[in-house]
Copies of this chain bind each other. A is one copy, B any other.
Amino acid sequence: MLHFENDYNKGAHPAILEALVTSNFEGLAGYGSDPYTENVTEQLRELCDCPEAEVTLLTGGTQTNQLVIDTLLAPYEGVIAAETGHIATHEAGAIEFTGHKVLTLPHQDGKLSAKAVASYLAEFYADSNHSHMVYPGMVYISHPTEYGTLYTEDELEALSKICQAYDIPLFLDGARLAYGLAADGAVDIPTLARLTDVFYFGGTKAGLLCGEAVVFTKNNQPKHFVTHVKQHGALLAKGRLLSVQFKALFEDGLYESIGRHALEMAEQLKGILRDKGYRFYLESPTNQQFIIVSNETLEELDQQVAYSFWEKYDDQHTVIRLATSWSTTQADIDALREIL
């Protein structure tokens, strides 16, 4: 079986495993107070060109979204997101679980436009009944989006500006950020750090066993954050599991090379799909590709290729996702070419 269903079907990048093995018998303090965690903070401050960034390492994406949103919002506030945003669709109500409404707006290829956000905010405050409504207290975007698309610098500037105008934070879900940096013309990390208030480097989908590195960029990490993390059930006793992995990820250009590799594989994948006449659901410049496939074709693929069901397209067709990652090999691609 060829694995193109997602970017987390293998274990960890060998360099990551190696780091775990090497550090295994060091006696380290728990709960994130080990020197590796400090080291990651320094690495990310530099990478982000943001000397006052505060960094917290967490285990998974939904956990991270829940924690960041719940701790930055006031109780009477909700979070604006595209209706396709992960927090609005596939997190089992983890945001509502902590008391906050997800305020959804229409999307364009998975993206939220500054214009839509601006209208929503203007109309909210113009509505004389707004004290009976959920205050919009944050804007959430994912980059790459759930459809693999990317915001341009101009788009992020515009979102940042509207958030500043209303004094609400802009939060960027970077679960797949590694695969969003290597694309042609993609926004770089210091720019992301400058234009957002908080974002994270996804590790789970970039070759770690688990882990997401949250960066508060504006000296805005909520007070007693470690206690918030504990209260949410998200504090690991062996914080080293996260810090050792992330230290290795951000060393020697591994993070960047993982991104580049996956996108090279994705370019080949796109070429094959194009050559074979597959129909793209939309144009994605990153590691996730969405195609519209007839249900008969799907049944054939089932035997040889693992893919992700995305959504029903019509009665005869389905949208599926094929994804590359740090672990996709040239042999995988070549084998896929034979099958498709």
Contacts and interface: CB of A to CB of B under 8 A. Distances in A.
Interface string A118-140: 00000100111101111100000
Contacts of A94: 230-233
B306 A27 contact: yes
B135 A227 contact: yes
B1 A27 contact: yes
Interface string A8-43: 111110100100110111111111000000000000
A62 B129 CA distance: 15
B228 A309 contact: no
Given A78-B96, A237-B205, A9 B30 contact: yes
- Contact residues on A (Cβ < 8 Å of other chain), bracket: 35 or more
Contacts of A30: 6, 8-9
Contacts of A51: none
A17 B8 contact: no
B204 A8 contact: no
Interface string A235-247: 1111011001000
A138 to B, nearest CB: 14
Interface of A: 1, 3, 6, 8-12, 14, 17, 20-21, 23-31, 59-67, 70-71, 74-76, 78, 89-94, 96-102, 123, 126-129, 131-135, 204-205, 209-210, 223-224, 226-228, 230-238, 240-241, 244, 306, 309, 311-312, 327
23 contacts: A1-B27, A8-B237, A8-B238, A17-B24, A63-B234, A64-B233, A70-B75, A76-B93, A76-B227, A76-B231, A90-B129, A90-B133, A91-B132, A92-B132, A96-B96, A96-B101, A126-B312, A131-B226, A132-B230, A135-B224, A204-B236, A204-B238, A210-B237
Given A8-B30, A27-B306, 19 more contacts: A8-B237, A9-B30, A10-B27, A11-B26, A59-B59, A61-B237, A65-B233, A70-B75, A76-B93, A90-B129, A90-B133, A91-B132, A92-B132, A92-B134, A93-B134, A93-B231, A94-B233, A98-B99, A131-B224
